[in-house]
Amino acid sequence: MAHSSLEKFVYSPLIEKRDFRLVTLHHGTDQDPISLAICHASLDQAPPYEALSYVWGPQNPSETIKCNDGALEIGKNLSGALRCLRKPTMKDVKERTSQVGLMADIYSLAAKVAVWLGPADSSTESALAFLHDISTQMRENKKSQDSSEPFKFGSENHAVRYPPSEDSLWVGVKSLLQRPWFSRAWTFQEIILARQADIHCGAYNSNWRSFENFLVCLKAYPPGTNMEDLRLIGDDKLLTDIYKARAMLQRPQLFSLEDKDAFLSLFPLLDGMRTRNATDPRDKVFALLNIACDVRDSDLQADYSKSHAEVYAMTAKWLLRRTKSLAFLSLVEKKDKPDLISWVPDFRYKDQMNFLHQPLQIWRGKDRMYNASGTTRVRFNGQESMFQLTVQGIYVGTIVEQTEPPGNMLNNVALGARVLDGGEWQIFAENCAVDGVYPPTGESMDLAYRRLIIWDRVPGEKLARNQRKCPPTLTDLPKPGIISYSGARKQIFGPSEDIAMSILRGTSRKRLFKTDTGYMGLAHRSCEVGDRVYVLMGGDTPFVLRSLGGSFYGFGGESYVHGIMDGEMLALAMGDDRSSTRNTREGLEWIDELGEEPWPFKTEVLTLV
């Protein structure tokens, strides 16, 4: 019977909360029409089953298949997976919301998860064989070592044999890792919850363990001498994130609570998920609720009756209530789509060239890089509108002058000439000086400018900045050498910590500004003359706000203001002007014991909208 002659299949509603749909895929050859049956089952009494992880992709063109005694339309990608694997879709807002809450159980209780990467190409067979070979070599090396000792990796400890970095096998592996499945929001949850998983790409397949073993060996094996071709050059990041998350969930005893919180709590997961793809923008949040270690059993639940703007706002408020911190404001970037409130992060989007918006800077926990508001904590107001955020702040100044952005990493430019010694930015800074001195700190303007363009992060210092005993000197901040665009592209996303990379990261997509109160700082390129700078209680950095009248403000992003990043404004608000000349935290230890209000200084009440 032709499927077009069948009546349209209609899903019957699920009855119990833990019910889900099971698909029985009927036998057939590759070109036979797809036929399947759908029944209801309870997760508490389900027979052994497998779960399918795949990318929805475009739903047009679609294919009509036989489902029970009706006709069901499915997308091309699912059709390809079902034909090769010889599994399920669902709609209805209430039912969809309920089913999303069960996704963790569905995938974690499955005997095995079948991962469909899509049709094979000319390099698939050799790439999967290569991964299998590396995995086999790793297992053999483990057998040869003392079983009482933990397995050690490194070129001196194992003899894994790799082809040269220019070998086409690496191109095949890169092609595998760039397939859409690795970059989707839901597949991240599906694979890290799986007990076991098999990878299917066309007619070829592999065990997920081969991918993980290959990754472990790759991380341990140093790059070859050909520095122009470092094999995957970052294309293994998505696989690395999956591997790390699976390890934390399946072997939690190997990780500290701090490590798990810094990677698997909702805040850092949200930041990482912005680079992944989801058909429904709400899934950038909902796909994480079953795996974020601080969300399980909380009141933050999937709800498809809400718009993505409401979902993002309620998620930001949840983060505020849980952490009593404004750290989530560092996730807010300039919005190209004005459909969100100014202070709400847009989880659909991440400016990869805005280098300050990275987990190291954003999610600092107790080891904070900057300490502009000390240990002040925000008191959550559950009575105000979801789309308003009431904060308290100390006024720093109003922007009265600003520079043009430097053009870093645009039009094949590595490091914009504007920010180099003698460039427009340095001339601007010198005009902010009084007799060659930066008034807020008392140091030479040359040193203040050098510290400012790297956000006062000396290469290699990282989080130790907040514990330094003395400020850096000009000797600690050498002038950057010439750097090519291609060289910058290869280093900028890696661990490189030379001075040129520090300046590039600190100034890209930024403007240098001066306030009417004599401060000099960096902010997002969207800031304007007339914007105000505040230190907000509960925030690590100062923030740029745009007055909308009265106490209402639009949010303009985080900033670096030289001389107030370690709590100095709190001291000034108390009338202690001695802090204005300090370059270390000496004498400011009291800011580590502030907590919630009342505080020993006055603040303004501001409403972000």
Per the structure block, which two tokens stand in for 114?
A: 């079948």
Query: How confident is residue 89, by pLDDT bands cut at 50, 70 and 90?
Result: very low
Query: What are the distances in angstroms from CA 330 to CA 136, 265, 360, 541, 555?
Result: 44, 16, 11, 9, 11
| Structural domains in the chain (count) | 2
Percent of the chain at pLDDT above 90?
Answer: 58
pLDDT single digits (tens) 539-552: 999 999 999 999 99
Q: Residue 275: inside a domain, yes or no? A: no
pLDDT of residue 95: 77
Element (DSSP H or E) covering residue 553? strand 552-561
Q: Residue 101: inside a domain, yes or no? A: yes
Per-position DSSP letters for 338-383, written without gaps between them: --S-TTS--TT---TT-TTSSHHHH--TTS-S--TTTTB-PPP-TT
pLDDT of residue 242: 94
pLDDT single digits (tens) 369-403: 888 999 999 989 989 999 999 999 999 999 999 99
When pLDDT is averaged across residues 216-222 and rounded to a whole number, the result is: 71
- Assess whether pLDDT exceeds 70 at residue 227: no
pLDDT of residue 141: 74
Better-scored residue on pLDDT, 182 or 166:
182
Q: Distance between alpha carbon 7 and the CA centroid of its chain, in Å?
A: 45
Per the structure block, which two tokens stand in for 523?
A: 């902010």
pLDDT of residue 155: 45
* CA atoms of 430 and 449, how far apart (whole Å): 9
> For 69-203, where are the E strands, in sequence order?
70-75, 112-118, 197-201
- Assess whether pLDDT exceeds 70 at residue 159: no
Specify the residue for token string 């802090």.
Answer: 579
In the three-class reduction of DSSP (H, G, I as helix; E, B as strand; rest coil), residue 115 is classed as: strand
Please identify, among 209, 238, 267, the residue that sits at the C-terminal boundary of a domain.
Answer: 238
Residue-number span of the structural domain to which 555 is assigned = 389-608
- Assess whether pLDDT exceeds 70 at residue 596: yes
pLDDT single digits (tens) 320-347: 999 999 989 988 886 666 788 999 999 9
pLDDT of residue 157: 53
* CA atoms of 297 and 294, how far apart (whole Å): 9
Window from 121-125, 129-133, 442-446, 468-472 with minimum mean pLDDT: 468-472
Query: How confident is residue 182, by pLDDT bands cut at 50, 70 and 90?
Result: very high
* CA atoms of 414 and 74, how far apart (whole Å): 46
Q: Residue 487: inside a domain, yes or no? A: yes
Cβ within 8 Å of residue 80, ≥6 positions away: 116, 118, 119
Query: How confident is residue 123, by pLDDT bands cut at 50, 70 and 90?
Result: very high
Whether 52 and 87 have beta carbons less than 8 Å apart is answered as: yes
Specify the residue for token string 């070599």.
Answer: 137
Q: Residue 245: inside a domain, yes or no? A: no
Q: Residue 272: inside a domain, yes or no? A: no
Q: Residue 298: inside a domain, yes or no? A: no
CB contact burial 95-133 (16+ within 10 A = b; e otherwise) = bbbbbbbbbbbbbbbbebbbbbbbebeebbeebbebbbe
pLDDT single digits (tens) 435-474: 999 999 999 999 999 999 999 988 878 777 877 888 899 9
Q: Residue 39: inside a domain, yes or no? A: yes
Cβ within 8 Å of residue 251, ≥6 positions away: none
Query: How confident is residue 608, by pLDDT bands cut at 50, 70 and 90?
Result: very high
- Assess whether pLDDT exceeds 80 at residue 409: yes
pLDDT of residue 518: 96
- Widest CA span of the chain, in angstroms? 91
Q: Residue 26: inside a domain, yes or no? A: yes
Q: Distance between alpha carbon 273 and the CA centroid of its chain, in Å?
A: 5
Please identify, among 204, 238, 272, the residue that sits at the C-terminal boundary of a domain.
Answer: 238
Give the helix, strand, coil percentages of the chain, each rounded to 5. 35, 20, 50
* CA atoms of 190 and 50, how far apart (whole Å): 12
Please identify, among 215, 238, 261, the residue that sits at the C-terminal boundary of a domain.
Answer: 238
